Amino acid sequence: MAVKTAEQRRLRRRRRVRAKVRGSAERPRLALFRSNRGLYAQLIDDDRGHTIAQASWNEAELRELGASERPRRAGELIAERAKRAGVEACVFDRGGYRFHGQVAALAEGAREGGLRF
């Protein structure tokens, strides 16, 4: 039995979650990706294969914020953009990451912005 790396374990969790979570036009999937450089979130309609709205840490208005405030503000930003696109509810896809820290802060910011999970 081979030892799996942390990335391989995360991808396995991601596939397991993705098998159960599916976005539609009425309730798109809020997909999350974390890298060493930042946090990225997209609202995806899986039926059509289109991205409805997106937000990332690398945007100009988020760059000047502190590391603890960025994910919350990114969540609020994606909620604003979702409202403009006519979306009020979504399904949260944490991408295999633990619901803790930055992931939880982004979800909390999106809820404060008006998105329902």
pLDDT at 1: 62
pLDDT of 36: 87
Q: Which residues contact 84 (CB under 8 A, 6 or more apart)?
A: 53
- Give the pLDDT score at 23: 85
The predicted model scores a pTM of: 0.86
- pLDDT tens readout for residues 66-96: 888 999 999 999 999 999 999 999 999 998 8
Residues in the chain: 117
The pLDDT, as a whole number, for residue 38 is 86
Residue 1 lies in a domain: no
Q: How many domains does the chain have?
A: 1
Residues of the chain scoring pLDDT < 70: 1
Q: In this structure, what CATH number is given to the domain that contains residue 78?
A: 3.30.420.100
